């Protein structure tokens, strides 16, 4: 048995769990911490929770973007840290926070192996037609391509399905971040997010796919610089921008205003369009899995998706819990 501390760092919170791992990970204790800038203080809270439990033998980290040189889960060493530093350009919201957490964990648990678990790894084997973006080749050479995200969530769905894995599967991870992935025989062949987690489905605060001419227009006709434009794309758009209220589905359902209703309907339509695109990539589909906070818990969204895909014959729709933290624990136990 290997005891693993799994750390799942998001943009606004840190989820942690202590797992005992043999064949399957078993959660011993865990919790959630609202994000602060002082990552060393995270471990004061974590160690209070872990008091009386076995000390971790490995620490696993969810890494949103591994950049062009890291496409497989791995132990963290100086070379990996250097690549993660460079990859911050692809994920400026998540990358620096993950690095700070790795360093804080190393200081708190000296000598304990740390493992990087990449959200992009599940999609690393996508065919060229899916991973290549329609831009000049010189930009492709420096790593501008489709990476895909929510890979740990997708891995966990594949693991949970086990022997029930269909040949053609679509996974819709629907939360404040949302993506849709086409899975053939357990492997990702296409996904909605691209170079960054901003593309694809309209999300809580992110635009999802948008005419690039809109961004060019805003650069030309307003005083927005690159940083301000990034705020618009990632933090002020999506359901928040449309509703003028919130990107939280629960708040929007309760508000029942005209703008909140429009934001919800746009989100539901965006999800259905991306699912249809993944069905096209697969050439047909056997099962659709809904997961993530909205996918698992918002029944009206599930009904709207079912209605929007009524034209797909024989489609089985199932709801699964995303077990990203357990997936981190499995990889950390195997590689630590």
Residues annotated as catalytic are 119
| 173 Cβ neighbours under 8 A, 6+ residues apart | 150, 153, 154, 179, 180, 181, 291, 292, 295, 322
What does the alpha-carbon distance between residue 263 and residue 243 come to, in Å, rounded to a whole number?
A: 6
Burial 217-250 (b: 16+ CB within 10 A, else e): eeeeeeeeeeeeeeebbbbebbbbbbbeebbbbe
CB count, 10 Å around CB of 313?
7
Tokens 């699912």 sit at which residue? 275
d(CA 52, CA 75): 27
Strand partners, 63: 118
Rounded Cα distance, 265 and 202, in Å: 11
């Amino acid at each position: 048995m290997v005891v693993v501390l799994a750390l799942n760092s998001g943009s606004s919170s840190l989820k942690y769990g202590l797992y005992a791992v043999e064949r399957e990970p078993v959660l011993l204790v865990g919790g959630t911490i609202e994000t602060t800038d002082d990552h060393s203080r995270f471990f004061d809270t974590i160690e209070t929770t872990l008091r009386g439990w076995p000390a971790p033998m490995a620490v696993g980290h969810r890494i949103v973007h591994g950049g062009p040189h890291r496409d497989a889960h791995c132990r963290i060493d100086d070379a990996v840290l250097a690549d993660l530093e460079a990859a911050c350009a692809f994920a400026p919201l998540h990358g620096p926070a993950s690095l700070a957490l790795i360093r804080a964990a190393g200081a708190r648990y000296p000598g304990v192996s740390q493992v990087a678990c990449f959200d992009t790894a599940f999609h690393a084997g996508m065919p060229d037609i899916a991973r290549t973006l329609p831009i000049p080749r010189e930009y492709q050479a420096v790593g501008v391509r489709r990476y895909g995200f929510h890979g740990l969530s997708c891995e966990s769905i594949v693991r949970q399905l086990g022997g029930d894995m269909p040949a053609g599967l679509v996974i819709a991870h629907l939360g404040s971040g949302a993506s849709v992935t086409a899975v053939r025989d357990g492997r990702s062949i296409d996904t909605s997010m691209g170079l960054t987690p901003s593309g694809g489905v309209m999300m809580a605060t992110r635009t999802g796919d948008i005419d690039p001419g809109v961004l060019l227009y805003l650069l030309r006709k307003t005083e927005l610089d690159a940083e301000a434009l990034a705020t618009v794309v990632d933090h002020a758009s999506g359901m928040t921008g449309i509703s003028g209220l919130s990107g939280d589905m629960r708040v929007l359902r309760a508000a029942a205003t005209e703008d909140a209703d429009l934001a919800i309907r746009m989100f539901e339509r965006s999800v259905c369009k991306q699912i249809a695109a993944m069905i096209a990539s697969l050439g047909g589909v056997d099962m659709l899995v809904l997961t993530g906070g909205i996918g698992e818990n918002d029944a009206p969204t599930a009904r709207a998706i079912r209605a929007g895909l009524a034209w797909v014959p024989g489609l089985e729709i199932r709801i699964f819990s995303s077990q990203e933290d357990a997936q981190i624990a499995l990889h950390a136990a195997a590689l630590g």
